[in-house]
Amino acid sequence: MADLYTVNKSPFEKNSLADAIKFSTDGAAILLIEDGVYGATKGTAVESLVTGASGKKFYALKADVKARGIAEDRLIDGVELVDYAGFVDLVEATDKVQAWL
């Protein structure tokens, strides 16, 4: 598997999600944590960042999604929820981890 990118800021605040998608290679895993999870919600002005990205797999940290009151049915299709143990598994499954700031 390619690399894991973590994105911790909302796409309404920073361009880090757009940049992570742009600069990551095919097969990359992009994990949304903290305010980054807002990028995984359906029906927003920036939804197409995720829905239009090909060759990337998106994950969102469940605890952070829950903490922000985002119901699971509001997540973009194909975004997989992981818990912290799943975060650890992603780190192990990928070649390296890049916190995208």
Partner 1 sequence: MKLAVQVNEGPYQHQASDSAYHFTKAALEKGHEVFRVFFYHDGVLNGTRLTTPPQDDRNIVNRWVELAEKHDLDLVLCVAAAQRRGIVDDGEAERNGKDATNIAPKFRISGLGQLIEAAIQCDRLVVFGD
Applying CB under 8 A, which residues contact partner 1? 6, 8-9, 33-35, 63-64, 83-85, 87-89, 91-92, 96-97, 99, 101
Amino acid of residue 3: D
Shorter beta-carbon distance to partner 1: residue 13 or 72: 13
Contact 60, 31 (CB under 8 A): yes
Q: Would you say the C-alpha torsion 18, 24, 29, 33 has a positive or negative sign?
A: negative
Tell me the C-alpha distance between 60 and 79, whole Å: 7
Task: Give least dist CB 85 to partner 1, A.
Answer: 5
Shorter beta-carbon distance to partner 1: residue 78 or 99: 99
Shorter beta-carbon distance to partner 1: residue 6 or 41: 6
